Amino acid sequence: MKKLIIFSLGALLCSQGFPQSNENKENEFSMGAQLRPRAEYRNGAIAPHADGADVAGFVTNRARLSMNYKRSNLDLGFSAQNVGVWGQDQQIVNLPGRFMLNEAWANLNLGDGFFMKLGRQTLSYDDERVLGAMDWNVSGRSHDALKLGYEDKQNKLHAIFAFNQNGENVSGTYYAAGAQPYKTMQTLWYQHIGSKMFNTSFLLMNLGLETGTAPKSDVNYLQTFGTNLSYQPTGFQFYGTIYLQTGKTVAGKDVSAYMGSINASYLVNPAWKITLASDYLSGNDGKDANKYKAFNPLYGTHHKFYGTMDYFYAGTSFINGLNPGLWDNQLGLTFKTSPKVTLALAYHHFQTTTDVYAGGVKQTRSLGSEWDFQLTWNVMKDVTLMGGYSTFFGNDALKIVKGGDPSKLQDWAWVSLNINPKVFIAKW
């Protein structure tokens, strides 16, 4: 932290000798800061509360400092953050270990549209269905990777490579997952921008998942591939997604899974927008113990899609449990009360995509419904106040899948203040 502060102050002092008015200067250094506290009331978020369970309340906080350097053929980005819960640290003695680098990367412009970006970086693609920044989470999501790419006005092609280890090994390459969730990753992504209204993209990801026991290294490979289509005629937005999964799980089961999504929205007028969406993810049916048929959305921003109470893919309990799949049908309304204030209301109805049994008796596939309300207020430049309330109406099938007592009131409320200014910029 001291080195970051010294570097920042040095850049600030040195910049005073350079004129700030010439926009054609080659070198640019900028600093940004973010403070994002969020208070939450949980009475059934993440998983249904059991009868008699106490509610939870806390305040999380993200304090992030970012620095960027640019010139014609080189970009450098650093982002350091401290995340935690109010009261987690002592007043006088600050316990070490939670200050970390969220990003630390270099991007080399190789000319003619080619580039190379390497280091710790956020991977955010398409609608963040499979690869996303997960910014809702207080820590966010980062990968240690090498990205090679080409971009022009109509085409973008990225190839991403990662190889993870726990330390500087003397022998072998066994990787005990717990930091990054995979040992190796190769991803190819292509986007074609046909026009202002239409574009399409394709993604192919191969994950190497360590299996077996140390020190022997044995890797199972999981493939995910699919396409995204976006069409935006005047007043409308249409977005479609299809993904398939094959290969093997860590446990060695053969994978045969898929998902599909369609999202359509209509801008009634500058104030009102209505959205209809449907997401279908395959699940395990229990018919073949050697087959795994549940689609795993991997490293996407799941909070964005499957209800903000995060019952399904945001954690591991649903994926690692029965995982009977999910069919989520949604209706959303957005209302801009003013240029600074937006209200949003979304209704979700959830059901499994395979049958669920209890005591040999087949249950209904319906899991229940969720209502999500959100307010966004741009208080001033670089300051945004957000808040929301959600409630879930579950049933006995939800209890089998997620546990708890769905007949009890399940709700969640939160309020967050995001202060995110660019505090310094210098050109020379």
pLDDT of residue 96: 60
What are the CA-CA distances from residue 79 to residues 72, 141, 239, 338 (Å)?
21, 12, 32, 33
Tokens of 306: 């499957």
Domain count, the chain: 1
Measured between alpha carbons, how far is residue 266 from residues 236, 262, 371 in Å?
5, 14, 20
For residue 233, give the 3-state DSSP assignment: coil
* pLDDT value for 95: 62
Query: CA-CA distance, 341 to 375, in Å (whole number)?
Result: 7
CA-wise closest residue to 311 among 390, 243, 239, 256: 390
Q: Dump pLDDT digits (tens) for 180-193.
A: 999 999 999 999 99
Backbone φ and ψ of 317, nearest 5° = -65, -40
C-beta atoms surrounding 159 within 10 Å = 15
What is the identity of the amino acid at 134? M
How many Cβ atoms sit within 10 Å of the Cβ of residue 400? 18
Q: Report the pLDDT value the prediction gives residue 39, as an integer from 0 to 100.
A: 98
User: Is 365 within 8 Å of 355 (Cβ atoms)?
Assistant: yes
Contact at 8 Å (CB) between 183 and 212? Answer: no
Place of tokens 């506290």: 37
For residue 336, the domain's CATH number is 2.40.160.100
Domain that holds residue 16: 2-427
Q: What are the residues whose beta carbons fall under 8 Å from the beta carbon of 8, sequence distance 6 or more?
A: 31, 65, 67, 424
- Degrees to nearest 5, angle at CA 206 with 201 and 212: 160
CB 30 within 8 A of CB 67: yes
Task: Please spell the DSSP secondary structure of 298-342, one letter per residue.
Answer: TBS-GGGTS-TT--SSSSSHHHHS----EEEEEEEEEEEEETTEE
Name the stretches of the chain with pLDDT < 50: 1-7, 9, 11-22
Handedness of CA 179, 182, 188, 189 (dihedral sign): negative
Q: What is the pLDDT of residues 401-423, one digit of tens each?
A: 999 998 899 999 999 999 999 99
